[in-house]
Structure 1
Amino acid sequence: MAWLLLLAAGLVEIVMALALKAAAGWERPGAVALGLGAALVSIVLLTAAMKTLPVGTAYAIWTGIGAIGVTLIGIVFFQESAAPLRLMCIALIFLGIAGLKLQS
């Protein structure tokens, strides 16, 4: 169950980051509210997952899910760089997450 909570926390973190991008520097109150609400939900879920998972593992995976998700969405929807080196670095983050999951 902790792993599902952690996955959910990471996915909600993606929502938070995208909402804060849409907030355009606090100019769009609805997006700001969504971003702050998502941040709170994400942290609550992360905290629940940390009841049984090691803190370092949980935090690394949480941030990794967010980083990978936001990067891929940025590439697909915001025409951000899909340079091979960038994709390789994202793949390394994914491998790190997989390694942490396999190790625990």
Structure 2
Amino acid sequence: MKLGIILETKEHEKAWNGFRLAIKSLELGNEVKIFLMGEGVEVEDIHDEKHNVSEKMHEYLDNGGVILACGTCIESRHREDTTECPISTMVDCVNMIDWADKTVTI
């Protein structure tokens, strides 16, 4: 299965669970892409003792996951492009949805 995840939150537990879902899906042999949108482009800045989002994000990437990030959302927050979250467009989001067998929004 090809799973597309649109992550729109910087709420630590929800973002953490989104990456847990993505990691488990990869472990089960699926392909996964995550598109960060809105507050989701800020997930790298989440620091919570109980829900280490940065750790889960890097575990996801280390296991072959792909992360795309909305360029408009990044620019509106005066953030810069990073290796983990390259600037993408809404066309990339639509292409991910077309690519995926299933898409979920968190």
Superposition TM-score, scaled by structure 1 size? 0.35
The structure that is helix-richer by fraction is: 1
Q: Which has the higher contact order (CA 8 A, sep 6+)?
A: 2
Structure index of larger Rg:
1
